[in-house]
Chain A
Amino acid sequence: MNKRVPLPPHPHPHPQEFDLKIEDIRKRSQISDIWKRLRRNKLAMLGMVIVIVLLLSAIFAPLIAPYDYAVQDLANAKAWPSLAHPLGTDDYGRDLLSRIIYGGRVSLLVAILAIVFGLIVGGSIGVSAGYFSGIYDGTIMRLMDVVMAVPGFLLAVCISSALGTGVTNTAIAIGIGCVPGYARLLRAQVLSIRDQEYIEAARATGASNVRIMLLQIVPNILSPVIVDSTLRIGGCILMISSLSFIGLGVQPPIPEWGSILSAGRQFIRSFWPIVVFPGLAIMLTLFGFNLFGDGLRDALDPKLKR
């Protein structure tokens, strides 16, 4: 047993290959990963395609729409779909397809304005409340609770009826409804970031580099805001259409899906395209934003449900 036996060569490569590389771990939470996760979700991709189509058609409306939305052709009023007018014409002879395309532009514009308004005002309120805390925080969040007590649509109705119709007025009316939601969201983000251990850990490992900290904080605030906004745009567009439908919001001659629907109600028996197509547009838009928003939420935080 005391014989010296030569040691056989270590049969496998140096054990260092087992050690995890730190860089590998860090790279994982980057944009390419998010994109990969998003791509795997077919429904989310479908939503994204719809959203992109909407955006493009809104931006390039004058190039895509076969006619201008205000051009009347009374001789051809209430024409059924044909090659010249793929979706038919309305009661003034205006091409429905063009009106719907331009209507998309209006809806998107108002929705984005509303959200930006809500984000700026609500965001400032929320961030300051989270940062300063104390009585200021308490009072202002109570105020937000009060505004939230009125359902967004009813509040928008109230404000719209006071301010009147039009793109800016509607954007403000809806934007005010978005303010409390954003205020709460950003306040929660600021509060959670303040206490995060990884901020302390970053400091403890010597990363007093302000840029690194910004790279830690900002991405973590951004993702809930992006997800929330994407999901909210759909709701805003629905609200815009609903407001226009009941006579507020945006009214003719500016084309808006809701007002086209409303005007077409009287022809519901004789000429249903004027009622069906704008509604389809609304539905498709909402569908796209819902799918995309859901997919984005799942991709940005895979810890949530599968």
Chain B
Amino acid sequence: MGRFTLNRLLWVIPVMLGVILIVFTIDRFSPGDPVAAELGAGYTQEQYDAKKAELGLDKPFFVQLFNYVSKIITKGDLGNSYHTGLSVTASIAERFPVTLKLAIIAIVIAVGLGVPFGVISSTRQYSVADHAVTTFSLIFAAMPGFWLALMMIICFSIQLKLFPASGYKQWNCWVLPTLSAGLSFVATITRMTRSSMLDVVRQDFITTARAKGVNEGTVIRKHALRNALIPIITTIGFQFGILISGSVIVETIFNMPGMGSLMMTAINNKDYPVIEGCVLVLAFFICIINLITDLAYGIADPRIMAQYTKGKKAKMKEAVK
């Protein structure tokens, strides 16, 4: 298992290098001139050259790339914002915790609500509860996060005055944002849990468990759910990227000082280093989450763990047994 983890960790490096290359290339080869944008109207050639050198854009492409990558690896330095001149790494470090907190709470809500809903829906198929849950999940799965956020603001902040629409210091500022980011995910997890449970409950080993005299509640909990959750773990990892993307937008609506608002300002200012830095950090984070879900998947399903840990020789020995 240790070897597997190490193996996967090592894979992260080339992947991230590739991502850096792609992101970097996209920005450097795009139309529009950040130097001109920074200088505004009316500038001399000298000012232009000076600015260009200041931004490090006068060197050839590969040199720029190399500098960029080496700075990241050695110092974790993602460059400086074209606009403010501040260190990108510092800005991100300041804002990442907010985004992270939002994402984590959203996932907890999603799993905490989604799994029970899915179990209820699957064990009471075609009942009123099932129809209600299915309708709810179909509607919320189609709801764009940012619109849900706005709707919630209209409903809870403006009309009912229950929760604030901005700020991040008090706990009630976090209610609406996390719900907006998480509810769509709740819907996805509910549907997945439901279909996974329906699949599992049809399998032979569930009949075996019942034939052993296990009571229905234990059958569902210990036998069915433990098997049904396995594909859901992989979905969580898979959907995490979507969740993060969604929460990034939700942040901006609620004026939370996270990476979302950082990115939006950067987009408006064509501030490439900031945009690149944000995308890289988020991509890296998602890579790590994928690694963790793969590990969790192995822990939950002993068959997968066997695949992870055994080398070729051990696999042969097993086949002969």
Contact = CB atoms under 8 A, between A and B. Distances in A.
B44 interface: no
Interface string A210-241: 00000000000000000000000010001001
A45 B184 CA distance: 23
B175 interface: no
Contacts of A279: 144, 147, 150-151
B72 interface: no
Interface in B15-65: 15-16, 18-19, 22-23, 26-27, 29-32
Interface in A238-270: 238, 241-242, 245-248, 261, 265, 268-269
Given A146-B15, A149-B283, A261 B267 contact: no
A297 to B, nearest CB: 12
B27 A149 contact: no
A interface majority secondary structure? helix
Nearest to B25: A162
B225 interface: no
B296 interface: no
B241 interface: yes
A153 interface: yes
Contacts of B198: 305-306
A158 B23 contact: yes
B138 A146 contact: no
B18 A149 contact: yes
B142 A246 contact: no
B105 interface: no
B264 A283 contact: no
B279 interface: yes
Nearest to A270: B158
A112 interface: no
A287 interface: yes
A146 B252 contact: no
Interface in B264-292: 264, 267-268, 270, 272, 275-276, 279, 282-283, 286-287
A146 B13 CA distance: 11
B249 A275 contact: no
A283 B19 contact: no
Given A164-B31, A164-B32, A242-B249, A150 B283 contact: yes
Contact of A275 (B139, B150, B252): B150
B86 interface: no
Contact of A291 (B15, B30, B138, B153): B138
B144 A238 contact: yes
Interface of B: 14-16, 18-19, 22-23, 26-27, 29-32, 138-139, 141-144, 146-147, 150-151, 153-154, 158, 195, 198-199, 241-242, 244-246, 248-249, 252-253, 263-264, 267-268, 270, 272, 275-276, 279, 282-283, 286-287
25 contacts: A143-B18, A145-B15, A149-B15, A149-B16, A153-B242, A154-B282, A154-B283, A155-B279, A157-B267, A158-B275, A162-B27, A162-B32, A164-B30, A164-B31, A246-B252, A246-B264, A247-B267, A261-B146, A268-B150, A275-B150, A275-B154, A276-B151, A276-B154, A283-B144, A305-B199
